[in-house]
Amino acid sequence: DAGVIQSPRHEVTEMGQEVTLRCKPISGHNSLFWYRQTMMRGLELLIYFNNNVPIDDSGMPEDRFSAKMPNASFSTLKIQPSEPRDSAVYFCASSPTSEQFFGPGTRLTVL
C-alpha cells in the first residue's frame, strides 16, 4: 500500500483565495482525521470521520473551514476565504482501529 496520500504537498496562495487540500486514506481504514500543525500550537485535530461520516468537527477553527468525505477513498479540506493565519502544515491520517497513520502533509502558505 502507498500509505496515506495528500495533495498538493505545498500550496502558496494569496489571502482571500479558496484552498482545497486532498487526502486519500489507506484502503480499508474506516477513520480519517485532519490535523493542523504549527510551531505555536503543535498538532491540532480539526475534524475526524468514521465510515465517511463526520463525527467531531469541534476543532475546525471557524466557518471558513469545511471538510467532506464523499466516499471511503477520498476527503477534502477546504478553506474559503483563506487568511495568513491559516498558514500551517495540514496532515491527513487514517486509522483501522487503534493505530493512526499519517500522510506527508500539505504545507500551506497564505500571503
Distance CA 84, CA 6 (A): 21
CB of residue 27 to another protein, shortest distance in Å: 17
- Grid cell in block for residue 104: 506527508
Q: By the 8 A CB rule, do 93 and 100 touch? A: yes
Contacts of 98 (CB under 8 A, 6+ apart): none
CB of residue 81 to another protein, shortest distance in Å: 27
Question: Nearer to another protein by C-beta: 81 or 104?
Answer: 104
Q: By the 8 A CB rule, do 110 and 92 touch? A: no
Question: Nearer to another protein by C-beta: 103 or 110?
Answer: 103
Question: Nearer to another protein by C-beta: 32 or 79?
Answer: 32
CB of residue 23 to another protein, shortest distance in Å: 11
Q: Which residues bind another protein (CB under 8 A)?
A: 4, 31, 33, 42-43, 45, 48, 50, 55-56, 91, 93, 95, 97-105, 107
Question: Nearer to another protein by C-beta: 3 or 16?
Answer: 3
Give the residue among 80, 75, 109, 67 at the shortest CA–CA distance from 93: 75
